Structure 1
Amino acid sequence: MNIDIQNTVNNWKLFTLTNQQNMSVSLLNYGGIITAINVPDRHNNIENVVLGFKNHADYTQNLNFLGAIIGRVAGRIQAATFAIEDQSYRLEANEEAHHLHGGAGGLHQVIWTAAPFQTEDTVGVALSHTSVDGEGGYPGTVEITVTYTLTNNNELIVDYVATSDKNTALTLTNHSYFNLSGNIGRTIHDHHVTIASDEFIELDNELIPTGNKLEVTHTPFDFRTGQLIADGIDSTFSQNIIASHGYDHYFILNPQQQEAIYVKDEVSGRVMTIKTNQPGVVMYTANNLTEGLELTEGTSKRYDGICFETQASPASLHHEGFPTVRLDAHIPYDKQTVFSFGVLLD
């Protein structure tokens, strides 16, 4: 196990965590951004499986949120407003009339206080930040710690812990774009995804939840036994078309399912399993990824990556019956998502 720490642009620090299987995870204290995850394929070729900028300075204009910690509220908040106990709060409208991913000054733009650590079989970095009362329009001073831990079992464990001194809204996630082909060898069309979910949230033309839950049965959103991402990209189903021909939807996870998400790429043989105690996940297939960005392995294009944003649902701020983003004062927020990497057996 090893931690390498380098100074990079703007006096940021780049931490590279390496385990005994030669898997490595690189992350910045700026935005808690994961810049690279290097894992072996079936032939033990170690390649990067997330999208990252070639030049770290480009993360200051990270409009696609590559690899970043997202908050205070991940996702879209309708009309950039919400209310708690009849007290209304106005947020920044940074996507048309709506609030997206904590606003332009959200947690993806923060320089976090970083504390690296190492044990016999883990290595990691704990990132901490205080978001003050009124920041971004949100109520409450919130103490946040996000911990990235790499194990010798090729697991990346992400722990989110927070407390607020006022009732507020909070749901944190990581916005990494995964591509298991390695070094963006191919788009994600042939990624085969399984999600333990019976329902997803319907979106309107502005990608705002309508308040309706839809059953996945007989739709391109039925990933319970697995399907190719291409099936949704090529679909004429209205919800895929609304999302610019792909997915940008919240799936409500079945609580009894421990391994909520399973992703495999047959060509490379790489597989990724996601476990979480979050109630759902937004799967985003980079339908609107900015093209022509200078990434580590070339220029970006649509469908270069797939995000699994484990979180509660911002729809709960305007509709009943959705996994809530409300966090009451002095009640601990404690969430975990585990990304495990392996290979298919031939």
Structure 2
Amino acid sequence: MSLLDVRDLTVRFSTKKGPVLAVDGLSYHLEPGEIVSLVGESGCGKSVGIMSLLGLQGPQAEISGSARFDDQELLGASERKLRLVRGKQVACVFQDPMSSLNPVVTVGKQVAEVLRRHRGLSAAKARLRVIDLFERVGIPAPAQRYASYPHEMSGGMRQRVMIAMAIACEPRLLIADEPTTALDVTIQAGILELLKELRDGTGMAVLLVTHDLGVVADIADRVIVMYAGRKVEEAEVRALFNDPQHQYTRRLLEAIPQRGGGRDRRLHGIPGTVPTLRDSPDACTFSERCAIASERCHTARPGFAEAGPGQAVSCWHPGAQTAPAVKGAVR
């Protein structure tokens, strides 16, 4: 049984210009101890999809489908039930730690509050546990940092505080939404290494949301590619980088900066624009931007079919036109 099993997740928002279909029939699963990455351009539905799992969308969101965590249905669950899951069994790390932390409360007290609420620890025991967590996530002088305010810490340190808060109750699933955005490459590498160490040390599963394929190559076991609210490809990370099957995935890979190749090595943009998400077209959503689209692509929605071991794709012409070589990008 999968730790997380999402089936046909659909999320619509009511707007003055009509309904917006932000997530269109998304299905995926996550196994214990696995790192799965959701990738795609900004606005493709990645963050909306994960926020919907935990009841973090506003009342204007119309959500349907199924999302079972450890065989418990999350969609439609009461707020009381979700509070028992959030923070204790499923924890989240968001991309902007400054907006996630209370600016007038010390970081130590904010993490301690999680332990006192979910574990019932006394103030003294919670403080000791927080200091231990700070040391575990690589915060220097953890006892002194307990009394620091968010503005007194760097972006990387604040992100480590958020990770400490997320793992305080030893969750079975960590959802990380763009956890390294706006961090320099050195800090980014440290955060990614920390996530891998936590997975290896605790068996915690990680659902990583990102648009950065370099991050995916470094940390993920399996990758789900989204475009305009739909899943278009799913594969083990090596298969995705070495033999992408969907044209959108190929174009994303072309945009990865690569060492070597001389001065003629250029990044290639994807022509056209992302379609409006007003409805669910009976066609491939990428067809208007795809260089090899046929008439069928514009008139019929492709199913999701196996394209190789550990790889599946939603495309009428899977594997057509080999993507540029990107071997070696995955460590």
**TM-score, normalization by structure 1:** 0.26
Structure in which a larger fraction of residues adopt strand? 1
Structure in which a larger fraction of residues adopt helix? 2
